[in-house]
């Protein structure tokens, strides 16, 4: 009803990005050629090359978008602390972002070899993951919900950053039949459990609460 603008045909450039992402994620970036991408879109390879210099250019353009989104997400809890449950949802969102861009994580070293300009940007993104995790841990610590000694806090933040980065890949190998949804869910639960042993009082309650929360969500149909 509202003055919606005409159907607004999606620009070819964007269709290329969108189709490439889908293909990369399902087939693996290494297994997809520029011809494949053009084929699924029903356009000519020549046309594709009019929009992008090549596969690397496509990847770099995708990364731009991913980086922007993830930076935005990761900055939220640094600005204002979240409640415990909000933290859990927050981890969900991060895993979902990463899952949408999983081809990149799976082929990372080969991609970074071919797109060296991305290397420092990836490194900064990982650093931001750690910083955000640290901010959350600091907030929990200030609320006296958890406590750390020595360099435990810093090390935990590092491990969680790595966990966020690689857990989906780990699970993809160990549980081949899982759906994306199940893998993400499991990843979040697994992150939450990692914090449990540092919970000051009522660690059992925390574990129980988490188990209940994730059983509930697991049955649901988030996304």
Partner DNA sequence: GTCTATATTAGGATAGAC
Partner DNA sequence: GTCTATCCTAATATAGAC
* Residues near DNA, by CB under 7 A: 11-13, 33-36, 42-47, 49-51, 53-55
Would you count residue 127 as binding its own copies (CB under 8 A)? yes
Six-digit token string for 194: 């990692």
* Distance of alpha carbon 95 from alpha carbon 101, whole angstroms: 10
| Partner touching 13 among DNA, its own copies, none, CB below 5 to 8 Å by kind | DNA
Would you count residue 47 as binding its own copies (CB under 8 A)? no
Phi then psi for 3, rounded to 5 degrees?
A: -55, 60
* Distance of alpha carbon 57 from alpha carbon 51, whole angstroms: 9
| Chain residues 146-205 in contact with its own copies, contact rule CB under 8 A | 149-150, 152, 155, 158-159, 161-163, 165-167, 169-170, 172-174, 176, 190, 193-194, 196-198, 203-204
DSSP 8-state code for residue 198: G
| Partner touching 44 among DNA, its own copies, none, CB below 5 to 8 Å by kind | DNA
CB 74 within 8 A of CB 94: yes
Would you count residue 223 as binding its own copies (CB under 8 A)? no
CB 220 within 8 A of CB 192: no
Six-digit token string for 202: 């009522």
* Distance of alpha carbon 22 from alpha carbon 42, whole angstroms: 15
Residues of this chain that interact with its own copies (CB under 8 A) are: 27-31, 106-110, 112-113, 119, 122-123, 126-127, 130, 149-150, 152, 155, 158-159, 161-163, 165-167, 169-170, 172-174, 176, 190, 193-194, 196-198, 203-204, 207-208, 211
């Amino acid at each position: 009803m509202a003055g919606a603008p005409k159907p607004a045909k999606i620009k070819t450039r964007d269709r290329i990005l969108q189709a490439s992402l889908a293909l990369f994620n399902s087939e693996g970036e290494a297994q997809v050629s520029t011809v494949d991408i053009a084929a699924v879109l029903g356009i000519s390879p020549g046309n594709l090359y009019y929009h992008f210099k090549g596969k690397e250019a496509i990847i770099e353009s995708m990364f731009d978008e991913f980086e922007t989104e993830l930076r935005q997400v990761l900055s939220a809890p640094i600005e204002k602390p979240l409640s415990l449950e909000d933290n859990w949802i927050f981890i969900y969102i991060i895993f979902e972002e990463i899952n949408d861009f999983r081809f990149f994580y799976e082929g990372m070293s080969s991609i970074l070899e071919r797109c060296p300009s991305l290397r420092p940007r990836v490194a900064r993104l990982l650093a931001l993951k750690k910083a955000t995790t640290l901010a959350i841990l600091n907030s929990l610590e200030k609320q006296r919900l958890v406590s750390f000694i020595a360099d435990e806090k810093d090390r935990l933040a590092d491990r969680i950053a790595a966990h966020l980065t690689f857990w989906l890949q780990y699970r993809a190998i160990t549980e081949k039949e899982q759906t994306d949804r199940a893998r993400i869910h499991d990843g979040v639960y697994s992150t939450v459990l990692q914090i449990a042993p540092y919970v000051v009082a009522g660690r059992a309650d925390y574990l129980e609460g988490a188990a209940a929360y994730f059983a509930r969500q697991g049955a649901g149909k988030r996304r």
